[in-house]
Amino acid sequence: MIRFEGVSFTYSGAARPTLADLTLEVPEGELCVVVGETGTGKSTLLRAVNGLVPSFSGGALAGTVTVDGRSTRDHRPRDLADVVGYVGQNPLSSFVTERVEDELAYTMENLGIDPSAMRRRVEDTVDLLGLHELRDRPLRSLSGGQQQRVAIGAVLTASPRVLVLDEPTSALDPAAAEEVLNALTRLVQDLGLTVVMAEHRLERVLPFADRMVLIPGDGAPVVVGRPAEIMRTATVAPPLVELGRHVGWDPLPLTVRDARRKALNLRTRIAPLCPGRRREPEQPRREVAQARKVGVHYGSVVALGRVDLAIRRGEVTVLMGRNGSGKSTLLATLSGGRTPDRGSVTVGGLDPRSLRPAALIRQVGLVPQDPALLLYGESVSDECHSADRASALETGATRNVLDRILPGVPADRHPRDLSEGQRLALALAVVLAPAPPLVLLDEPTRGLDYPSKDRLIAVLLELARDGHAVVLATHDVELAARVAHRAVVLADGEVIADGPAHDVVCHSPVFAPQVAKVLAPDEWLTLDEVRLALETVPA
């Protein structure tokens, strides 16, 4: 169905190719996952499937890409729209209408599909992706995860034979991600749809993948194989695989069920050292910010309803909950970017809306879901220098933070030409370098690989040790397990749980990380905890 033959691609002005001599075939009716570290060319490969690379990206393409027998050299992306559906990392940028149901129908209208067939396909897609309650909503009123589901639905209504998805679950809560992946699997198995996706959160997609494509980067050849084969040696691997490698399980488990069957002896061996059995009482911490009875509405939609929340210094707090539960709205309200309809917010004892911009960024920093909103420079270097000047930092301070999170981002590259993960890392550096007392991060790991997340976690924990307050809204349960001191769960704009991360996260069937599920009922959260225990107990 998809064939790459000797494909190399080099962006304009780049010193070396992003893809080099790639030969790859994806048969009809397979779900293929493309993996690799941030910036290695995953998105480039995906965009080459329907000719967006090089038709819209520029650059030089050698070799041949064919889809269902059509060459991308002879067919522009619009000529492949009936065969290939593409969803990028930023769904909002692809929308052309204002309302959900109109967006679902738009591609079909352009393809000239009969209205009666259009209506049937819209209803099928609404059922498949659980969009019933959203169909009449304005697209801009949706959360990032809701927008992502609509974007997937908008390409599915055209009944493509190939579906290309770039980070399709990155903005989805765990339950919604599983629903979408189950729906895609049904389409693959029942209708022969071919799905190619890039995804950093491998813990979500491994159980569904038929084939994996590993892009090592640095000019190394691409590796293609079954997930169990690739995971034996891949440098990017989910916690479940890392746990299996560490304790020597063979074959490596790719699902929690398989890992639990292997873990009985491990659970018994390390049970006496379980962190959940020996936690010490938390010491009181001084408050940095306070939300009191905060309510926010978007028209008739209640985003927040009488939320009370104290943010304390020296603490990393994660906000969790379904898409649309109010996490992003709460962060925007704490940052002064959104005025509550009722209640009050204070940061450092002051109303953030009363502060001038220069004073506000010294008190609170926010990285929104779309990091491009923070980037205005003509190059990475320009962006870093501007951030240093704006916050009166030493020259190179922002670049140093960027290199800690994601080394090697080209200084002369325009921010719009970066990968999604590189762009996010740059925005994080701009906000984290001044180290404001309150740091707010909205989905801070979208597009980041596992090594980059490790480095970001180190930066956030260092900020907390230095007395800063860090609040992050995330659907990345593995990140929450490793970085959170405290977990707050929102549902329908209300706080329904607030406490230590072990207490809130471990026993949740939705928000528990992989290690917690494998080693339940004991309260283990991370692989690091298991490693430390295994170093202590006798073999």
Residue 469 has pLDDT above 60, yes or no: yes
Does position 34 have pLDDT exceeding 80, yes or no? yes
CA angle 41, 480, 195 (to 5 degrees): 35
CB atoms under 10 Å from CB of 488, counted, come to 23
Q: Which residues contact 501 (CB under 8 A, 6 or more apart)?
A: 318, 480, 481, 484, 485, 486, 487, 525
pLDDT for position 234: 87
CA distance linking residue 268 with residue 253, whole number of Å? 19
Quick: pLDDT tens for 319-343: 999 988 999 999 999 999 999 999 9
Domains of the chain, first to last: 2-245 (3.40.50.300), 287-536 (3.40.50.300)
Token pair, residue 152, equals 């997937």
- The mean of the pLDDT values for the chain is 91
Phi, psi of 317 (to 5 degrees): -110, 130
Tokens at 196, concatenated: 């190619």
Burial of 504 (0-12, 13-18, 19+ CB in 10 A): buried
Among 2, 39, 151, 27, smallest CA distance to 19 is for 39
**Residue 192 CA neighbour count, 13 Å, CB half:** 6
Q: State whether residue 16 is helix, strand or coil.
A: coil
| Distance separating alpha carbons of residues 201 and 197, to the nearest angstrom | 12
CA 95 – CA 106 distance, rounded (Å): 9
Q: Are strands 70-71 and 84-87 parallel, antiparallel or unpaired?
A: unpaired
Who has greater pLDDT, 39 or 290?
A: 290
Quote the tokens at residue 514.
């992989």
Retrieve residue 505's tokens.
């996260």
Task: Read off the pLDDT of residues 285-317 as tens digits, 9 standing for 90 and up.
Answer: 899 999 999 999 988 889 999 999 999 999 999
Question: Predicted confidence band at 419 (pLDDT cuts at 50, 70, 90)?
Answer: confident
Q: For 373-389, what is the mean pLDDT?
A: 94
pLDDT score at 537: 82
Tens-place pLDDT, residues 344-356: 999 999 999 898 8
- Residues 270-297: what's their mean pLDDT? 82
- Summarize pLDDT for 147-167 with one digit per residue, the tens: 888 999 999 998 999 999 999
Rounded average pLDDT over 57-78:
92
DSSP state of 284: P
Percent of the chain residues past pLDDT 90, beyond the cut: 70
* Residue 374: closest CA among 324, 411, 337: 337
